[in-house]
Amino acid sequence: MNLIDLPGDAPVIEPGVTLRSLSEEVSDRVLRPQAPRWWWIGFGISLALFLTLVVATAWLFVNGIGVWGVDIPVAWGFAIAEYVWWIALASGGTIVSALFYLTRSPWRSATNRIAETMMLSAAASAGIMPIMHLGRQGFFYWLFPYPNVMDVWPQVRSPLWWDFICLLCYILMSIMFYYTGLLPDLATVRDQAQHRRKQMFYGILALGWRGSARHWRNYQSVYFIMCAIMAPMVISVHSVVGLDFAGGLTTGWHSTQFPPYFFFGAVISGLALVIMLTIVVRHGYGFQGIITAYHLNAMGKIMLTGSLMLGYSYVWEAWGPIYANSIADRTAFLDTIFGTYAPTYWARVTLNIIIPQLLWLPIVRRSEILLFLISAGIIVGMWLERFDIVIPNLARDWMPSYWGVYYPTLWDWATLAGSIGLFLSLFFLMMRFLPMVSISEVREIIAKGETK
């Protein structure tokens, strides 16, 4: 195989992979008694970062959000930017998993489990952010419309509350979706397990799955319906996150383009993280035969599409303030691109729009190193974009007397590092104890001879 071959011609599954070898290989990664050294190193670093989160959260709970850099006028800081960042990454997992199930894309079958694992881990990191951001974290349950003696009720006209409901439904649905997809594989792992304790553990998780024709018929209709719900749901979830901003009258936020703008960001950043994790799992677990150049090529193309869609939103983001007759909007935008926070703007344009154009070249889509680097750049670029949406606009509100500058504190950075630690810790744990490739779906591809 040489580099001039178009990656699109690569087989979906390498010819050497058989039904038996697939089940044994994927189950072995879960069942083997000793995790490989790279897993322990990765998990150790993740856990250390997670401990940073524990400390940062404890410090925050004891002292209040004054330990962060947020203040008037920039009352939304890292926590909100990172909430949007994480939920976009989670949404990207759902897009890979649910949207491309409906399109019957063959590359989805070997990567959807990685995407879903990423989705759950990222959703956990996203979920803690708004709660940490509350001034009184202990009262977060006031977001629920529960019967109470205070006669207070959530403000249902607020997009922030829609966001809470959306996120809650999304996380619950994601867990169920993940678990449903996992069921047949858990049964496979149970059958492959040699030790009684592992047989019991995976047997209970498999909920008595026997693989009868009736099981499969019910399973497939349930899974299809779940995908059909998840695909529009993920679009609505991230659109409502956009409405959190569009619903406010702040300069630069009050724009009708925000819902699709945010969704486009989810496509590109989610795909970028899936590509990075896929490359890690592929090499770490020796899945080169199951996850091939075909998969990376397909995901690279979608990431490029996401980059183009996001570029379109960037054009509108600039066009709106210039075209509209609002001095405040224009001032805020000019300040975003030339003011205090100008480096973040130009960095995000470079990382999200300009560099990903390399993906037009097939040779780039074949190179795992380049894919990994471009994806990492996009993840950073998307973080900068969230920062750029939240902070410079608040810093340049309508009244010049209301202007200010935001500087993150050590605890802001610790929270960022900690949320990455939470994400990675969860991902590493799931990677160790649950199959990272959907055995049943890849078996289907092999059995039907669609490996090309």
Partner 1 sequence: MAIFGPRANLFMNVALLAAAGGVTFLLILIWVVPVMGYNSQERYTPRQPVPFSHKHHVSGLGLDCRYCHTTVEISQNAGIPPIHTCMTCHSQIWTNAEMLAPVRQSLAEGKPLRWTRVYTLPDYVYFDHSIHIAKGVGCTECHGPIGDMPLTRKATTLYMSWCLSCHRDPAPHLRPKDQVFNPHWQRTADTPSGKELMAEYHIHPETLSDCGVCHR
Q: Which amino acid is at 196?
A: R
Nearer of residues 184 and 381 to partner 1, judged by Cβ: 184
- Roughly how many angstroms between the first and final C-alpha of the chain, as a whole number? 16
Closest approach of Cβ 260 to partner 1, in Å? 35
Nearer of residues 204 and 228 to partner 1, judged by Cβ: 204
**Are 448 and 441 a contacting pair, CB within 8 Å?**
no
Closest approach of Cβ 210 to partner 1, in Å? 12
Nearer of residues 204 and 324 to partner 1, judged by Cβ: 204
Closest approach of Cβ 249 to partner 1, in Å? 20
Closest approach of Cβ 44 to partner 1, in Å? 33
Closest approach of Cβ 253 to partner 1, in Å? 24
Q: CB atoms < 10 A from the CB of 208, how many?
A: 9
Report the interhelical angle of 159-192 vs 19-31 (nearest 10°). 110
Sign, CA dihedral 246-249-252-256, equals positive
Closest approach of Cβ 283 to partner 1, in Å? 34
Nearer of residues 207 and 324 to partner 1, judged by Cβ: 207
**Are 206 and 190 a contacting pair, CB within 8 Å?**
yes
Q: Tell me the two tokens of residue 283.
A: 């090499």
Q: Footprint of partner 1 on this chain (CB under 8 A)?
A: 146-152, 190, 196, 199-200, 203-204, 207-208
Nearer of residues 38 and 144 to partner 1, judged by Cβ: 144
How many Å apart are CA 118 and CA 405, to the nearest integer? 34
Sign, CA dihedral 217-219-225-228, equals negative
Residue with tokens 């969704």: 263
Q: Tell me the two tokens of residue 349.
A: 């344009």
Q: Annotate 33-76 with three-state secondary structure.
A: CCCCHHHHHHHHHHHHHHHHHHHHHHHHHHHCHHHCCCCCCCCC
Nearer of residues 1 and 146 to partner 1, judged by Cβ: 146
Residue with tokens 């780039």: 364
Q: Is 143 helix (H, G, I), strand (E, B) or coil?
A: helix
Closest approach of Cβ 215 to partner 1, in Å? 15
Nearer of residues 33 and 146 to partner 1, judged by Cβ: 146
Sign, CA dihedral 256-259-261-264, equals negative
Instruction: Report in angstroms the alpha-carbon separations of 426 from 120, 277, 312, 405.
Output: 8, 13, 34, 35
Nearer of residues 204 and 322 to partner 1, judged by Cβ: 204
Nearer of residues 207 and 363 to partner 1, judged by Cβ: 207
**Are 422 and 44 a contacting pair, CB within 8 Å?**
no
Nearer of residues 203 and 270 to partner 1, judged by Cβ: 203
How many Å apart are CA 356 and CA 371, to the nearest integer? 9
Closest approach of Cβ 193 to partner 1, in Å? 9
Closest approach of Cβ 150 to partner 1, in Å? 4
Closest approach of Cβ 199 to partner 1, in Å? 5
